[in-house]
Chain A
């Protein structure tokens, strides 16, 4: 699919991208309609997510009231790290919720039906079911980020770099989700793998500076939670070097490349059992 896409002219690529965008809109609309049929559950999950966010902010507020700083960062900076973590996390959950529903497809052999369609199977299983609950929480989150960022007094360039690095973080999250899907085909294990990914990224709720070496190194380069969650916030505060930005962009590109290779390898291992 990737090779076929690369072989297209630029007009062809645009047409293909627009086609996929339309398919994504259609799939998202279907996913939203399905969720809206269980309104009570939707409200409970939405309330739960807002409550968890509120509890955590309250915890940070009261903790920092007593400690004043955390690893040298002020209260506003710590809150900004937390909000940036949430933005990457919520965006990834909104876009890639379908990954959580992948296991039954592989176990039942229904993945055959996805593979047989004239559409990238990866696209379908990765982005086939956007989450309306996360979508609802994105606008207030962006507003909160805008508000707290204002208190940190960034320059226009720092703001721009923040957006670029958030998108870069999202790219790394994409690579992780593709890797989880691939692992799911090989081992039939998704539920815990994706939750472990969530637990690891949760370590990015705070700046990775709080972790000791070698964990800090692991979280920066090996499992680049620091690059996904901490670096964008640091860029806005003017605390990153051009080299750091270059490395993070390189890591995201490498992550996407390797995860796609892993996906292709996993597909070759798919046995279509139970179908």
Chain B
């Protein structure tokens, strides 16, 4: 445990080495929020308007919550794993007395902590500048359910990332391509980080709920907004946990096979 705490500390400090890079990355997050915020701000310019089951307060809260939930769930250092495999740098870790999964999970937590700090500051600044009507959840049960759903989302994204990152075991030049497809395109749209997926037709929405993606962003925010509670929450949580377990076993199986195929190219 002590060694992972050291990894956490070092990783946290490493984020400050390339300060400009980090600030630029955060700036990009804010830019992305602008597009979504103003889009929905225009759609709901009439405060009494209700579309897709959302009023102005709830949709703008959804947009602001994206900033925080993305910092929790989607900020991860494990995106570098594919590069480690492709360059043969994985060998360095295999020789050390550390669990590679735990090592990257610790680094992810470190990155999330820092991103969350910045996201909180950005959230406050944007809140002061844009002055949106904001829905503050006061029900403690909904808040606990929100925290639980975030924890499951973090785990799902971690396993998903490791599965995607395993591609270079067999195709070293494909790492970034597969990441682009899965984490940039598919996760971006299907997780609800651009729009709440329940604006889609009922059958598409219900189908998406069977996939792991909505449980990354959409589900936790809906729980926060109080749109999903009681039985519906437990059903959603059960599906999310099912995906976590399935992806965990899939990740382990893929990595077992991948390590057998690993040839440490470039070393």
Contact = CB atoms under 8 A, between A and B. Distances in A.
A192 B38 contact: no
Contacts of B43: 63, 67, 70
A142 interface: no
Given A47-B181, A63-B195, A71-B42, A192 B35 contact: no
B101 interface: no
Interface stretch (A1-9, A165-173, A209-217, A251-259): A209-217
A137 interface: no
Contact of A55 (B174, B180, B189): B189
B189 A196 contact: no
B201 interface: yes
B42 A70 contact: yes
Interface stretch (A12-20, A88-96, A200-208, A239-247): A200-208
A67 B40 CA distance: 11
Contacts of A66: 51-52, 199
B21 interface: yes
A192 B28 contact: yes
A52 interface: yes
Given A48-B184, A210-B38, A40 B171 contact: yes
Interface residues of A, number: 36
B31 interface: yes
Contacts of A40: 171, 173-174, 177
A113 interface: no
Given A63-B199, A193-B24, A206-B39, A44 B180 contact: yes
Interface residues of B, number: 35
B27 interface: yes
Interface string A30-64: 00000000101100110110011001101100110
B194 to A, nearest CB: 7
Nearest to B30: A199
B32 to A, nearest CB: 6
Given A48-B184, A48-B185, A59-B194, A212 B28 contact: no
Contacts, number: 92
Given A44-B178, A192-B24, A59 B173 contact: no
Contacts of A98: none
A203 B184 CA distance: 18
Contacts of B39: 70, 206, 210
Interface in A134-191: 187, 189, 191
Contacts of B38: 206, 210-212, 215
A222 interface: no
Interface string B3-29: 000000000000000001100110110
B185 A55 contact: yes
B100 interface: no
A146 B20 CA distance: 42
Contact of B35 (A48, A71, A203): A203
B245 interface: no
Interface of B: 20-21, 24-25, 27-28, 31-32, 34-35, 38-39, 41-43, 51-52, 171, 173-174, 176-178, 180-181, 184-186, 188-189, 194-195, 199-201
15 contacts: A40-B173, A44-B174, A44-B177, A45-B177, A48-B177, A59-B195, A70-B42, A70-B43, A187-B20, A192-B25, A193-B24, A200-B31, A202-B32, A215-B34, A215-B38
Given A48-B185, A70-B42, A206-B39, 12 more contacts: A40-B174, A59-B195, A62-B200, A66-B51, A189-B20, A189-B24, A192-B21, A202-B31, A202-B32, A202-B35, A203-B34, A210-B38
Closest 6 CB pairs of A and B: A192-B24, A199-B31, A44-B177, A210-B42, A55-B189, A41-B177
